[in-house]
Each structure stands twice: as C-alpha cells, then as structure tokens.
Amino acid sequence: MPSHSRAAWRKANLREGYTTSACATAAACAATHTLVTGQRVETITIDLPVRSAVTFPIETCLQQDHSVTCGVIKDAGDDPDVTHGLEIRAEVAWRNEPGIVLEGGVGVGHVTKPGLPVPVGEPAINPVPRRMIIRGVANELSNLGAERSVQVTISVPGGEAVAQQTMNPKLGIIGGISILGTSGIVKPFSVSAYRASIYIELKMAAYNNVNHVVLTTGARSETYAEGQYPHLPEYAFVQVGDHLDYGLKQTRRLQFQQVTLSGMVGKLSKVAAGQMQTHISQGGVDLGFLADVAVRLGADESLQEHIRNANTAHHVQLLLRKAEIDGLETYLAQQAAEKAAVFINHAVPINVLLWDIRGKLLAEGTV
C-alpha cells in the first residue's frame, strides 16, 4: 500500500473523542438530574452542537444536602491530547438568586491576560462551552419540571499539573486547563484544531500590542529565536509547525509590523522553493531545486547529481561543505524571505533566521 494511502487509511480509522466542553456539559447535566430527582445516574445522554443523543458514562456521583457533583472521564479517542483520562467534574448547587451561574473550580484555569475569548479574571471556559453547559443544565431543569436556579462549578482534579503541558501558561491562563471545544467532538490530529491554536496565540499577541511576531517551525527553532530576541514577550513566539501558510495569512490579517520566520534547513528549503505548507504529505524536500541552487554556487555536474540523489536537505549541506562550496544557507534564507513576502503580497516586512540543529545561526534573509 502506498504511504499516502496508508496515511489516509489510518486517518479514516482513527477513533474520535470528546472535548472538555462535552464532558463538562455531560457532568453538569448528570449532576442536575441527580440534584432534582435524588437518583444517581450511571449514564447521561446529551446533544452536542454537531451530534445528537451522545451518551456519556458517569464516573463519579457525590450527593450532599444541597448539591451534587458528577464526573466524566475525558476520552480524546486516538488524538494525543494531554487532557485524555482526566476527570471533568461539575458540582450543581441550588441558589436563591435567579438564573444559572457558571464558575470554575480547582483545576480550571483563570484568565490573567487580555486578548482571549474570555475576559480577564474569568474561568477559562470558552464562550461556546459556556453556552453548551448552561443550555444543557437549563434543558435538564425544564424537562424535570424544576423551576429553580442553580450554580454550576466545573473542576478538573489534576488539571493544574496537566496545564503545564499546554500553551495555557504562555497565554496567561493560570491554575488549570481550559474548557474548550465548539463541536464537542475531538477529531484526531485535526488540522483545524492546530490552526485554531495558532490564531489564538497570534490574536493575543496583537491584542497586547506586540508589533513583531516570530513564527517558528518547531520547539528548537523557537528556543533559538527567543535567544535572538530576548526583548520580545513569550507570546510573540508562535509555533506554526508545517502551517506556515496559515500563520503568514493571519499575520497579514492582524496587521503586524514585522514577521520573523525561524527554522532549519529542511523546512526553510521548502519555503525557499515556494512551498508554504511544509507537511510531508505536500511533498518532501525538492532536491532538484537544491541541485539548481548548488549550480548557482559553483557545483559541477557530478556534485549536482549527488545532490539530486541526497537523502535530506542536511545531507545536501554536508555534500556542499565537503566540496568547500559556501552560500547555500544564505541563498535559502533570502529566497525564503522573498517567497514568504510574495505569499502575503508584501503586506508585512519579513525576515528569516536559519539555524543548525545546535542553535548556531547560519544565515538571515530580509525583505
């Protein structure tokens, strides 16, 4: 089976999961049901924004005099989600004042910086999850004929520790994870989810008056760029991975004044060749392009042929160094800057940092 067919088969057969918003809604509805009826439930069935009648098993059901706490285990399916396996709990308590109030408890983060969908000081429960939870509880109360008001408190045991593995600390969300998800469904290895995180980080940088953002292809190139620009705040550095095309478009949309691309020779050689989406599914390193560059730099026909049959862009670097031919990295950095600038119609000044794997800056390009 061809590699691209295997990848498609694996993606088609990956198991979907449920978002923290779906789990929180299910837990809140189960707690509401038990609070009204006095009867514990082993499962609860709710409607999600994109799917009806989804049933969740209830892990915990703790009854007290005026409140009930229920918990649902977060199942992310086959997605490598760090919140997988956490218990999302909801305590529902009677209150005298009218309405349904939603709060964040232990393990749910609180927002400390502006620029996010949730105001500063509020629990990190995004707008759609907030509506899902409140609507679910309201429907449960109505269906059971309970004309009373409640307070719902979402908590996540272990959430504060797990949050350190997310981008929450960088975004200024402290104390726990966020309750996220607009559909209720986790699609494994979702491109849309990754791109959404890129947009959130860039939007936050723009909201906090950051004029210069650095798009990095990975963790190492981000670390190296942070050393290059120590004056920039942490949230000015955004890992876009293979989605440079999307990141660049958003920098234009958000009207930044300066954009830096930080990466190594493999990804940046693709950008220099005009490939802004650098995932392997869109093609590997263009060795023909690198062979043509080598000719510009003085490579003979024999070396050119060796480059066309090289294993990686790094292999090309080694071949040129052995032949004592310089200039590859400088050419690629400049071409990457020029191609990126053309991609966004020169809307934002672009510069490129090209590193080796140990963090040595090999070349810069500027447009």
Q: How many domains does the chain have?
A: 2
- Say what the pLDDT of residue 170 is: 86
> Rounded CA gap, 334 and 351, in Å?
8
Residues 106 and 229 in one domain: no
Of the candidates 350, 340, 328, the one whose C-alpha atom is nearest the C-alpha of residue 266 is 328
Residues 330 and 308 in one domain: yes
- Say what the pLDDT of residue 6 is: 37
Q: Is 265 in contact with 314 (CB distance < 8 Å)?
A: yes
Residues 140 and 105 in one domain: yes
The SS3 call for residue 139 is helix
> Rounded CA gap, 327 and 335, in Å?
12
Q: Is 29 in contact with 55 (CB distance < 8 Å)?
A: no
Residues 296 and 160 in one domain: no
- Say what the pLDDT of residue 218 is: 87
Residues 102 and 209 in one domain: no
Residues 58 and 198 in one domain: no
- Say what the pLDDT of residue 226 is: 96
Residues 211 and 279 in one domain: yes
- Say what the pLDDT of residue 50 is: 87
Compute CA distances 224 → 218, 233, 252, 254, 338, whole Å.
10, 14, 24, 25, 22
Residue 195 lies in a domain: yes
Residue type, 237: F
Residues 6 or more apart whose CB falls under 8 angstroms from that of 249 comprise: 344
Compute CA distances 344 → 115, 246, 261, whole Å.
24, 10, 13
Q: Give the Cβ contact number of residue 5 at 10 Å.
A: 9
- Say what the pLDDT of residue 13 is: 59
Residue 2 lies in a domain: no
Q: Give the Cβ contact number of residue 315 at 10 Å.
A: 17
Residues 154 and 209 in one domain: no
143 half-sphere exposure, CB direction, 13 A CA radius: 12
Residue that is last in its domain, among 127, 153, 186? 186
Residue 226 lies in a domain: yes
> Rounded CA gap, 82 and 159, in Å?
10
Helix (H) or strand (E) run with residue 88 in it = strand 87-95
Residues 289 and 207 in one domain: yes
Residues 159 and 204 in one domain: no
The SS3 call for residue 279 is coil
CATH code for the domain in which residue 164 is found? 3.30.2110.10
Residue 295 lies in a domain: yes
Residue 229 lies in a domain: yes
- Say what the pLDDT of residue 7 is: 41
Residue 1 lies in a domain: no
Residue that is last in its domain, among 130, 160, 186? 186
- Say what the pLDDT of residue 4 is: 38
Phi-psi region of 184 (alpha: psi -120 to 50; beta: other; left: phi over 0): left
Residue type, 148: R
Compute CA distances 362 → 250, 307, 323, 324, 328, whole Å.
27, 20, 18, 16, 10
- Say what the pLDDT of residue 311 is: 81
Residues 30 and 167 in one domain: yes
Residue range of the domain that includes 292: 191-366
- Say what the pLDDT of residue 228 is: 97
The SS3 call for residue 117 is coil
Number of residues in the chain: 367
Residue 343 lies in a domain: yes
Residue 4 lies in a domain: no
Total-model pTM: 0.71
Residue that is last in its domain, among 186, 212, 240? 186
Quickly tell me which residue has 């200024």 as its tokens.
172
Dihedral angle sign, alpha carbons of residues 293, 296, 297, 299 = positive
Helix (H) or strand (E) run with residue 288 in it = helix 287-296
- Say what the pLDDT of residue 281 is: 61
Q: Average pLDDT by consecutive 10-residue portion of the chain (367 residues)?
A: 38 78 98 97 95 96 97 90 96 96 98 88 96 98 95 99 93 95 84 86 94 94 96 94 94 97 95 87 84 95 93 90 96 98 96 94 97
> Rounded CA gap, 344 and 271, in Å?
13
Residues 135 and 283 in one domain: no
